[in-house]
Structure 1
Amino acid sequence: MIAVIDYGMGNLHSVAKGFAKVGVEARVTSDPRAVVEADGVVLPGVGAFGDAMFNLRHLGMLDAIRRVVKEGRPLLGICLGMQLLFSESEEHGRHVGLHLIPGKVRRFQGDFKIPHMGWNDLTIRRPDHPLVDGVKNGDFVYFVHSYYADPQDPGVVVADTDYHVRVPAIVAKDHVMGMQFHPEKSSDIGLRMLRNFADLCGERVGQA
């Protein structure tokens, strides 16, 4: 079973429905014990970085997430959830993140539309990564965000996109992975990547 962490940030059930479309059970939970017992864990989210870390801490999720990572089970952050994987964010001050992937979350700067909202094409940097199995350069996915990750090690970037700067769209460090876009809103390509994540978790997968 894949656990989708419910910490009061965003429409988490849409992620669970995305997994259901590919024949995978994903359970939305706010119970740290269910997270620790899961085959894989998804950390989604929409909203402010600082509020998200506060809620995770209040629910006792920080230790559960770190135990999942220590034991080598797959963890996937989506949108805000991906940003939380990094060391810190400059959103409304400085906020410490999970520090599972070293780096900083920065705000877009420039005379262009913020937030970045809409469909953008992917450039695959690590085509051998199982998360992008069946995904091609130029495939489009759906983004909504005002901040982007700036990893210390550019080697963690599996795929990126261009929005006036190169924006890491998919990152991975060992069993810790993140997608800045919303796979559950990204048509067949997004569902394919959810299915790929489920494969990494050892979940039985049906046909989309």
Structure 2
Amino acid sequence: MARVVVLDYGSGNLRSAERALQRVGATVEVTSDHRAALDADGLLVPGVGAYAACMAGLDAVKGGRIIGERLAGGRPVLGICVGMQILFERGIEHGVLTEGCGEWPGTVERLEAPIVPHMGWNTVKAPEGTKLFAGLDPDTRFYFVHSYAVRKWELEASEVIRPPLVTWATHGGDDFVAAVENGPLWATQFHPEKSGDAGAHLLENWLKSF
């Protein structure tokens, strides 16, 4: 049975993430303890609210260091919603720039759509070879609730390093990054823990990657 830590750094949605992981068979601990987070089979980084507030909370528990140390050892990490956004270099909200963890280049910015926030169920466009969305129908919908996203993927392809698999979604004609699979680092802009059976299947796929 996989042991997963949900990183507690003051963000919301911790218990729903815990319950969703338990539903698919994981043993789950919600904690900010450094050693527990490093030793777990998987680390889930949630996130709800403002980018700057999430980064402040993450810095307070040295969360960026925890993520970096796990990835250096090839240990799985899954970011969800703002927990995905903080993995990028920077976020801009209300004209304020906040530095992120910098695992990927790119900027989290406000969606350019007629209706913001983007709230509700949407399909995604997963790339060939995806493991995160394996076994799911292309018409499967996931639950989104956000006003900001990465609208441009900035990591250039390399002939040496296998490029990340990037999944896209569209809201109001505006394309944005909906998920990323990059070695041990996976992330979703949507909420699998609020996406019913589809979200449970996706979390099972993540557990199978350990």
TM-score normalised by L of structure 1: 0.91
Identity of aligned residues (%): 37
Q: Which residue of 2 is the match for residue 42 of structure 1?
A: 44
| 1:77 partner letter | G
For 1:46-85, list aligned pairs within 5 A.
Answer: 46-85=48-87
Alignment gaps of 5+ in structure 1: 202-208
Q: 1:109 to 1:47 in 2, by over 3 A?
A: same
What is residue 195 of structure 1 aligned with on the other side? 204
Partner of residue 102 from structure 1, selected from 92, 101, 105? 105
- Specify the code of the residue in structure 1 equivalent to 2:164: V
Match of 2:168?
Answer: 160
Q: In the alignment, what sits opposite 1:205?
A: none
Q: Which moved more, 1:62-71 or 1:151-160?
A: 151-160
Tell me the CA shift for residue 128 of structure 1: 1.4
Deviations 1:150-200 (CA, angstroms, capped at 9, x unpaired): 320386353221112112111122211110000011111110010111111
Query: Is the Cα contact below 8 Å between 2:112 and 2:174 reproduced in 1?
Result: no
1:5-46 deviation digits (Å, cap 9, x = unpaired): 011111111011001111111211111111111111110110
Moved >6 Å (runs of 4+): none
* Map of 1:206 onto structure 2: none
Alignment counterpart, residue 185 of structure 2, candidates 168, 172, 176:
176
2:22 aligned with 1:20, yes or no? yes
Measured in 2, the distance between the counterparts of 1:113 and 1:156 equals 30
SS at match of 2:132: helix
Structure with larger RCO (C-alpha < 8 A, sep 6+):
1
Q: Secondary structure at the match of 2:201?
A: helix
Number of residue equivalences: 199
Task: Give the match's secondary structure for 2:115.
Answer: coil
Deviation at 1:72, TM superposition (A): 0.5
- Work out the CA distance in 2 between the residues paired with 1:95 and 1:109: 20
Report the aligned-residue RMSD: 1.4
Give the Cα–Cα distance (whole angstroms) in 2 for the partners of residues 156 and 102 of structure 1.
12
For residue 204 of structure 1, what is the aligned residue in structure 2? Answer: none
